[in-house]
Structure 1
């Protein structure tokens, strides 16, 4: 199973990658290995199968893998020059493999037992509960030296020259199945079957909403087309995502199924803990945000309120977040399709009309195309109405979900959308944009609104939280949310995976 997404991020595809690996590792009929591969840099080290060497030399090679996954593996300029030459050779080797089918991308072995702390802390600890650590660490891994992005680029180049995408062969013949987390830029050797865990078609259907648009659109579409052509199977995280896949490639219909994402064990029903709010809000604020140099923007955004001293800061948070505090919550990376601006506008209306003290809390990293949103947030942050948090651990996020007046999911496009079902599982209530995937995943446990109409969102929130029967509505949604979110517990989802993998592995 591909683990590349698990190297970055807390939520979304990285989270589901970790959760699925842990769940599959618990199935006795499966012998599971993880694929260690980076997006833009070569992964060094690993041991060639059947190669004779001492244990000490093996450990040294595994250690090189760890070093390269964490950063540069060059010890001086000579090693750096040798690495540069090796990279150029690898680029051309991938091109030859893609253009003419020459050679294959080999895999090396990596034994977990020597580096348990690294595997757990780097790949899994952010999403998987510690009680599952032992079963994860019982799995070994394979190392793919070739970067994922370079493999994609080889296929894209071939398409531009030969009018059809084609990719290097991945030598995974020792495995029955290979589970990729997105369309994968390789053909598989032997009888190995490719399973694409398909999260969404957003890079193709909504390319205007993502970063690095040219690469992500081309890489997603061309690899997807090649995977379909090569007979891959697709496990879609929602029926809405499956229908998007079939709108592009109807021939994939007999080889596609829907298996929803599973919830992390960190989220569960609990009593409110308002006494923790002030500390959480203070501890996980983003602070200053300076765009990367590549963005050609030297603007520094101040995303936390300024104080004259610690005493003032402490007094502000204790006064602002108390058992009577009402706040709206949104948990999502800041990027256009998530629709933060719509919620900001609706919140401003609610403050003006109904409750000048209601707060707004955004939780999530800053992604792309934030220039319109962040300046609007800065003013409200300094006034003490808006709070922007990141790197919030699951235990603290559970408190926010439970304590929020409403968790709002205003996105215009999603493959599944964890935040709504996480909120429901924690005893929170949800308002969601009226898009097919939300209707499918949230069912009757959410209030819906038009994501393109601020007035629609205002009306939904006003009805939920400020109408004469608001308490009854919230209680009903809370109860329904418990039922709906239980559909995504591991014990409900994992048997579907076991059945699916059993069927395709035994089929000719």
Structure 2
């Protein structure tokens, strides 16, 4: 089977969908009788690029300045895709994101969440217009739609009327770099940042409203001064759309010196930071899966999180759940897992066990089965 995968998103620094695609491609290489052709917009390859490709920052700047930039780029992509797919004898096209290119043969798409419906303000206006125009048509056209969680599958079924074998859940996995690490090893890696293993709290995610970073900041501010001095709060992630909406709140927190924004981190640096954290705080309001939660559990780090959207599917009984808006509840949960070592160890053990339910190998196996079933019909 010769499968075309739209890999253009790998030009950007790899966050949620980029991580999904890079890990899925790697795992699909172990599936027999699959030949992957990766379309990058400017060309094709059969190998996963090792890092973000050149040109992303220039494109991001251009998209803000040129009206209709998304439509222009899509028109160019479509022409290159058509030529390449024909020459390579592509039998099936897999779109790993919101709106697929046109393809005469069978098409599978992955719909990770319905953020564009729940939080349209998190998208640039031009991009949102393209999403709204194309996603419904794409859902109608796709022979099969893959999702990361049953929660999103149910949402798609309700909103778009899709069901049966056309909708398949393929839960995500975690990369092998996410695992518990010895304190002595972490000491060397964390020392340049002025950190020590187990000596800080961590938030991971793009800085945008639905990630609810303000909740973590408010809960952290309620902790006793001595606790905040001992456990600084680190925030890892790129600035997202409308991140300025909580800029003032963040600036106040930064002024204390107890909150630090580290920005985007490389894959290995993020794995080290997760493994060294006392807790991951994940107050997100909406997630189609929540990879940082799984990666933290696999690293032996307990998670305090919202019981929203797909997050309970990922954390199961291993998560410590607090409702968004309950500032005191968040504060108490954090203090409990700092002060009570027995509870911290129990949550750690449950998290490690829960993480074993997920793997990229399983995700690839389900995805490959969808490819085969689609081509057989």
Structure-1-length-normalised TM-score: 0.64
Match of 1:199 among 109, 112, 115: 112
Q: CA deviation at 1:486?
A: 1.7
Q: CA deviation at 1:14?
A: 1.0
Name the structure 1 match of 2:64.
none
Name the structure 2 match of 1:490.
360
Note if contact 2:27-2:361 (Cα within 8 Å) is conserved in structure 1.
no
Match of 1:256 among 142, 167, 191: 167
Match of 1:446 among 319, 324, 327: 319
Q: Secondary structure at the match of 1:480?
A: helix
Name the structure 2 match of 1:188.
103
Q: CA deviation at 1:184?
A: 2.4
Name the structure 1 match of 2:70.
149
How many angstroms apart in 2 are the aligned matches of 1:169 and 1:35?
9
Moved over 6 A (4+): 151-154, 167-170
Q: Secondary structure at the match of 2:230?
A: coil
Name the structure 2 match of 1:175.
90
How many angstroms apart in 1 are the aligned matches of 2:370 and 2:123?
33
How many angstroms apart in 2 are the aligned matches of 1:27 and 1:123?
26
Q: Secondary structure at the match of 2:281?
A: strand
Q: Secondary structure at the match of 1:32?
A: strand
How many angstroms apart in 2 are the aligned matches of 1:250 and 1:169?
33
Note if contact 2:201-2:279 (Cα within 8 Å) is conserved in structure 1.
yes
Q: Indicate the larger mover: 440-449 or 452-461.
A: 452-461
Q: Secondary structure at the match of 1:463?
A: helix
Q: Secondary structure at the match of 1:487?
A: coil
Between the two structures, name the one with larger relative contact order (CA 8 Å, sep ≥ 6): 2
How many angstroms apart in 2 are the aligned matches of 1:424 and 1:183?
28
Change (3 A) 1:203 1:111: closer
Note if contact 1:328-1:406 (Cα within 8 Å) is conserved in structure 2.
yes
Note if contact 1:246-1:253 (Cα within 8 Å) is conserved in structure 2.
no
Can you list the C-alpha shifts for 1:172-227, whole angstroms capped at 9, x where unaligned? 463221110223254321xx21111111110122213x131x33433223322112
Note if contact 1:433-1:449 (Cα within 8 Å) is conserved in structure 2.
yes
Q: Secondary structure at the match of 2:177?
A: coil
Match of 1:425 among 261, 281, 298: 298
Change (3 A) 1:122 1:461: closer
How many angstroms apart in 2 are the aligned matches of 1:455 and 1:254?
44
How many angstroms apart in 1 are the aligned matches of 2:246 and 2:298?
30
Structure 2 residues without counterparts, runs of 5 or longer: 55-67
Q: CA deviation at 1:484?
A: 1.3
Q: CA deviation at 1:492?
A: 3.0
Name the structure 1 match of 2:238.
365
Can you list the C-alpha shifts for 1:3-60, whole angstroms capped at 9, x where unaligned? 01111022211111111122222322111101121xxxxx3xxxxxxxxxxxxxxxxx
Name the structure 1 match of 2:371.
501
How many angstroms apart in 2 are the aligned matches of 1:451 and 1:243?
22
Name the structure 2 match of 1:234.
145
State which structure, 1 or 2, has the greater radius of gyration over its C-alpha atoms: 1
Q: Indicate the larger mover: 408-417 or 355-364.
A: 355-364
Note if contact 1:331-1:364 (Cα within 8 Å) is conserved in structure 2.
yes
Change (3 A) 1:358 1:111: closer
Name the structure 2 match of 1:477.
347
How many angstroms apart in 1 are the aligned matches of 2:266 and 2:158?
38
How many angstroms apart in 2 are the aligned matches of 1:233 and 1:460?
41
Name the structure 1 match of 2:22.
18
**1:225 aligned to 2:140?**
no
**1:328 aligned to 2:243?**
no
Change (3 A) 1:186 1:322: closer
Structure-2-length-normalised TM-score: 0.84
Q: Secondary structure at the match of 2:151?
A: helix
Note if contact 1:275-1:322 (Cα within 8 Å) is conserved in structure 2.
no
Name the structure 2 match of 1:54.
none
Mapping for residues 311-322 of structure 1, pairs under 5 Å: 317=194, 321-322=195-196
Q: CA deviation at 1:497?
A: 2.0
Can you list the C-alpha shifts for 1:126-159, whole angstroms capped at 9, x where unaligned? xxxxxxxxxxxxxxxxxxxxx99327988xxxxx
Q: CA deviation at 1:170?
A: 6.6
Can you list the C-alpha shifts for 1:367-396, whole angstroms capped at 9, x where unaligned? 222334333333443442111112322333
How many angstroms apart in 2 are the aligned matches of 1:200 and 1:361?
27
- Size of the aligned set, in residue pairs, is 352
